[in-house]
Structure 1
Amino acid sequence: MDGRHRDGASIYLVLTRHGSIDQDALAESFAERHDFDRGYGPSTGRLLRLIREGGDWRTLAREPFDGTGSWGNGAAMRVAPLGAWFADDPDEAARQAALSAEVTHPHPEAMAGAVAVAVAASIAPAKPPPGRFIDEILRHVPDGTVREGIAEARRLLTIADPSTASAVLGNGRQVAAHDTVPFALWAAARHLGDFKRAFWTTAAAGGDIDTTCAIVGGIIGTAPPDWLPHCEPLPSWALGQGSP
């Protein structure tokens, strides 16, 4: 479980305790359970350390990019459990996803990426046709580079080759929401209901594979039974069994 997977567990914990995203509680959980060895980026690692030392996340999170905050893909990577929590309620999933992203990634593009993934995870259990799946996501994503990329992913649904799709949409190599989320949604849309095909299609594109596969896997949902023994379980603290 890398840092962003661990943050997904914090989202789950906050939802179980509050029923919605309490931003202060989420920031506290992120900071308290920050583990440097889990592969956090340096900016996020610094942010969580300063929050843990008493800093205000509302100020600290907006320091990068001249006061607009990070537009990285971390908020999108960790948000799928939130979308699943609000299954069949994409409007609420979108609203809560924006709140969850703002704690560490308040840039509009990062928030748009988180909204898109949460909506996707919310509606994926119904297995809508690929085009309708993307259209519903677009209905919730504000104008910007992420939305333009998702619209392009919609146009590329007839393309089967992940390398071709990622050449247009990106594969997370830039570690930015707009370079990550559109391709992940393309892969998920083409293989809703087929975790293995979705996973290997995503991995075949290269780039930031742990992030793109985590997003796609989170959207698709339950992994095949023969894969589950190889997955790291939720930490005990996320299940209400104490601190790490």
Structure 2
Amino acid sequence: MPSPADVRSATERAHASLLALAVGDALGSQFFVPENRPAFEAQEPPPGPWQWTDDTEMAASVYLVLTRHGTIDQDALAASFAERHDFDRGYGPSTGRLLRLVREGGDWRKLAREPFGGQGSWGNGAAMRVAPLGAWFAGDPAEAARQAALSAEVTHPHPEGVAGAVAVAAAAALAPEAPPPGRFLDDVTRLVPDGTVRDGIVEARRLLTIGDPATAAAVLGNGRQVAAHDTVPFTLWAAARRLGDYERAFWTTAAAGGDIDTTCAIVGGIVGGPPAAWLAECEPLPPWAL
């Protein structure tokens, strides 16, 4: 059983990752406000406040379950997702329907597997929220991967949806060691099951010498398809190149366009350490999670 000191340390790491994820999400969402485009083109954050989206709301439930259970209790996670679901935060229609039905008493195990012929969603929703879990299990990427799979199954049980969450959690667990980019992606890849997401991460490893995010995204995707395989490889490419430098990681990720709030949430949660000025402009975390 973890000691109280270990639990405190894990909680602090996960909270820091959640804050960093929220900043990436909230600032990234500002790209879709037309009057903010010039600021983004100049790599300057627009005036706040910045409101976060479903990425942060769901990540906060992951954090809450970890602080209460020390592990992923799938029923507790499904209940928290459903209870906290705020339609106005930008949920996709499939996830929104799932959470509404769970809140009305439906069985998440059955409902989550309805899309894609019974395999469940392969969207990027499980990946976008999981970085704080990886931070909780920092130094134990294999356990982070196992717990990430449990967290993904609640809403995105398709093998690619699960693989996306596993990859991001493993990356967040490894990031504090600040390994060289190639070793970082190699270590992540070893924990990701075979499939399209893993193939994309292998390709991201080959593209580490490419400095232009638009070029990398043209090969790896930028989340425009809102799919795990179209989102996670690029975010790991961006994180690997910018570990320890939140601002550069954010602008590298945002420059590729696509699903910017989600890609920046993922990269932010992995890299951590947003500027204090950016934290001040970001909507506070939901009080129910703290």
CA distance in 1, matches of 2:174, 2:222: 23
Matched, 1:104 2:142: no
> Hey, what does 1:47 align to over in structure 2?
98
> Hey, what does 1:204 align to over in structure 2?
255
- Deviation for aligned residue 1:4: 2.2
> Hey, what does 2:212 align to over in structure 1?
161
| Structure 2 residue corresponding to 1:151, chosen from 199, 202, 218 | 202
Written as runs of structure 1 = structure 2, the 5 A alignment for 1:64-213 is 64-213=115-264
CA distance in 2, matches of 1:97, 1:234: 22
> Any gaps of 5 or more consecutive residues in structure 2?
1-51
Matched, 1:227 2:278: yes
> Hey, what does 1:242 align to over in structure 2?
none
Written as runs of structure 1 = structure 2, the 5 A alignment for 1:6-85 is 6-85=57-136
- Deviation for aligned residue 1:227: 1.4
CA distance in 2, matches of 1:119, 1:39: 26
- Of structures 1 and 2, the one with the larger relative CO (CA 8 A, separation 6+) is 2
- Deviation for aligned residue 1:230: 1.2
SS in 1 for 2:276: coil
- Deviation for aligned residue 1:226: 2.0
Runs of 4+ in 1 over 2 A off after TM superposition: none
- Deviation for aligned residue 1:13: 0.4
After superposition, the C-alpha distances for 1:187-227 in whole angstroms (9 at most, x for unaligned) are 00001001011100000000111111110001001212221
SS in 1 for 2:225: coil
Matched, 1:217 2:255: no
For residue 34 of structure 1, what is the amino acid of its counterpart? H
CA distance in 2, matches of 1:144, 1:161: 26
**What TM-score, normalized by structure 2, do the two folds share?**
0.82
Percent sequence identity over matched residues? 81
For residue 237 of structure 1, what is the amino acid of its counterpart? W
CA distance in 1, matches of 2:55, 2:255: 22
The 8 Å contact of residues 213 and 256 in structure 2, kept in 1 or not, is answered as yes
After superposition, the C-alpha distances for 1:145-176 in whole angstroms (9 at most, x for unaligned) are 00000000000000000010000000000000
For residue 33 of structure 1, what is the amino acid of its counterpart? R
- Deviation for aligned residue 1:130: 0.1
> Hey, what does 2:36 align to over in structure 1?
none
CA distance in 1, matches of 2:100, 2:287: 22
- Deviation for aligned residue 1:228: 1.2
For residue 36 of structure 1, what is the amino acid of its counterpart? F
CA distance in 1, matches of 2:159, 2:241: 27
CA distance in 2, matches of 1:3, 1:187: 22
**What TM-score, normalized by structure 1, do the two folds share?**
0.97
CA distance in 2, matches of 1:70, 1:95: 19
**Count of aligned pairs:** 239
The 8 Å contact of residues 244 and 273 in structure 2, kept in 1 or not, is answered as no
CA distance in 1, matches of 2:140, 2:207: 27
CA distance in 1, matches of 2:253, 2:227: 17
CA RMSD in angstroms comes to: 0.6
